[in-house]
Chain A
Amino acid sequence: MRRLRVLRESQRLLCSTLFALATSACGSQLDLGSDLLWATDHETGDLNGWYAPPAGGLAPDTSMSPVEIAAGPAHSGRYSLKLTDLAQSDSIGPGVFRELVTPPDAYYSAWYFIPRAYQTRSQWTIMKFRARSDANPDTISHGHDLNLRALPGGQMILYVYSHDATYLQAPLADPPAFVPIETWFQIEVLYRPRTDETGKILVWLNDRLVYDLEQRKTAGSDDVLWSPCNIGEDVQPLGTPIDSSSEGGAGGAGGASGDAGAPSTGGTSDRIPPQIYVDDAAISLKRVTRSGRLFSGR
């Protein structure tokens, strides 16, 4: 009888201990690691994420357009990256980049926010894939761009442009890849850099595969410079008249008004510099998707 009582007491003690151990860990997930090669959500309040090793930072921009951390709007947390295009050129503008040497096939993802509707008369590049020349590391060749273009009705569509004369602009997605205004949207690209025709570019817009470009030369070297950017020559707020004299140059356009927060554009002071916000950027070996997480516990 006494032995039975001791046995029962022992079992009760064991049960209590195990229950306490189990409940203390309840709710916690088992984090098994990451397929992210790099990511930033700008919540440090600075650009350090873009400068993290092995290589990255501000994209070369002779126009000195502002690249800054903004306290809102943000896709997650409080901060995002704000790119304001003062250059209004089709080749230079604000941007950031990450450089990978001989990377595997990877997914390049970023969330974008366009604060207002714009009209465009040329391409508006918001993401670039470039490559550093093997022969001359100071030379960076253009590869593939992801551009926006406004439709007459004010809608904005996403398309892919290759600087290789063999390919140039890819056929538009059908149905069109409309990007929303004043709403965060995600662009994710599977990029297989190849100097021969085994390269591949797949583009998802808000988890919808909109471009599937395979069997093409995608890079000039084994390097990949991935750059979210804001480069466009004739990008003006919707409703703003665009002066035809501005075509082909950086001449002024009259009649711009409204964006009180826009910085001065110097020689193109009549223009309202287009702005875009970028947040939650990542390079991953697996698809990030709209629901993906970039940091544990956030």
Chain B
Amino acid sequence: MQREVLRLIPPERHDLLRHGVRIELEDLGESYRVLVSKDGASLKKRYADPARDCEARARFAAVFAVLTVMPPELGVDAPSAQLPEPKPLVPPKAVVVPPPPPPPALPRPPLAHIELGALFGYAPAIVGAPELSAFGGELRVALGRGALQSTLSVAYTSRAKFELRGVVGDLWQLPMSAGLRVTSDLGGLRMAGDLGLLAVVQRVRATGLASSRAASALELGVRGGLSFQAELGANIAPFFGAFVWVAPAPRDLSALPQGVFGNLPYLWLGGSAGVSFGL
């Protein structure tokens, strides 16, 4: 510590330390205390240092001691210091210290995020619904800068084949949703929870009947989702997530002569992955 103190004081002022200046450094475990005494007065300061870095403690203590013995406002001309007769000094050069630059403004988060992803959905055979699986794509727009955002989405799923009580057919879907999103930072990821109203345009067709027909329907339900984003660049973030579509009152399917042989799915479970672009 002594070395550090001497390094901080110009050599011609080292004699300041000879006039009753005492510097103590006390180890308190994860902290330490610096005590500077001069002319019967003392000043002490305590610092936290869980790392117990002796070198750093010495540097901090030295700075504290020098600032105490040689406060900048007093400089070497402090009256308490018994200094030699002052020499005529050349007026110090005015030093203009520029004001510190303003902190850089934080970039505003994008107002809109456009998410483009691929999805996979699976509908279990529940009650009269067939088992289905489909791939597709989804476009989702999230609006808002805060933790609460609104979302709009449209998706398309490929043809999903089914067999239900002897009737073979397939199903296309165009799910759309509008809802709210709550976001939260989770480590290096941003987590988003979605909940919204779901409207699914569905086109279903039998393929194995003597005379087959296609029919369309609009089903209403609820969409929930959970996704995770990882910021890669300024406005690009890959994401992955899971979703659930629930249609509580799906439409019945009928054919002759069977009559009603089942219904459209109550539930779709799935996952999606893609990229989010901030605008």
Contacts and interface: CB of A to CB of B under 8 A. Distances in A.
A18 B256 contact: no
Interface in B204-234: 204-206, 209-215, 217-220
Contacts of B205: 32
Contact of A285 (B204, B210, B214, B252): B210
Contact of A25 (B150, B206, B217): B217
Given A14-B178, A29-B252, A32-B167, A292 B211 contact: no
A136 interface: no
Contacts of B167: 32
Contact of B197 (A14, A284, A292): A14
Interface string B237-262: 00000000000010111111111100
B94 to A, nearest CB: 52
A50 B253 CA distance: 29
- Contact residues on B (Cβ < 8 Å of other chain), bracket: 20 to 34
Contacts of A11: 150, 178, 197
Given A21-B218, A284-B257, A292-B257, A32 B212 contact: yes
B218 A35 contact: no
B183 to A, nearest CB: 16
Given A18-B197, A18-B220, A30 B254 contact: yes
B197 A32 contact: no
A31 B259 contact: no
Contacts of A21: 199, 218
A36 interface: yes
Given A14-B178, A18-B197, A18-B220, A32 B257 contact: no
Contacts of A287: 257
Given A14-B197, A15-B197, A34 B210 contact: yes
B251 A28 contact: yes
Nearest to B180: A11
B121 interface: no
Contacts of A22: 199, 218-220
Interface in A20-44: 21-22, 25-26, 28-37, 39
Nearest to A291: B259
A30 B178 contact: no
A33 B211 contact: yes
A293 interface: yes
A295 interface: yes
B199 A18 contact: yes
B130 interface: no
Contacts of B254: 29-32, 293, 296
A85 B205 CA distance: 46
A295 B256 contact: yes
Contact of A30 (B143, B211, B252, B257): B252
B255 A35 contact: yes
A204 to B, nearest CB: 13
Contact of B255 (A15, A25, A33, A295): A33
Given A34-B210, A291-B259, A29 B220 contact: no
Given A14-B178, A293-B256, A35 B220 contact: no
B178 A37 contact: no
A34 B252 contact: no
A148 to B, nearest CB: 25
Contacts of B215: 30-32
Contact of B213 (A32, A289, A293): A32
B242 to A, nearest CB: 24
B197 to A, nearest CB: 6
A282 interface: yes
B10 interface: no
Contact of A35 (B219, B251, B257): B257
B79 interface: no
A32 B204 contact: yes
A177 interface: no
A225 to B, nearest CB: 20
Interface of A: 7, 11, 14-15, 18-19, 21-22, 25-26, 28-37, 39, 282, 284-289, 291-296
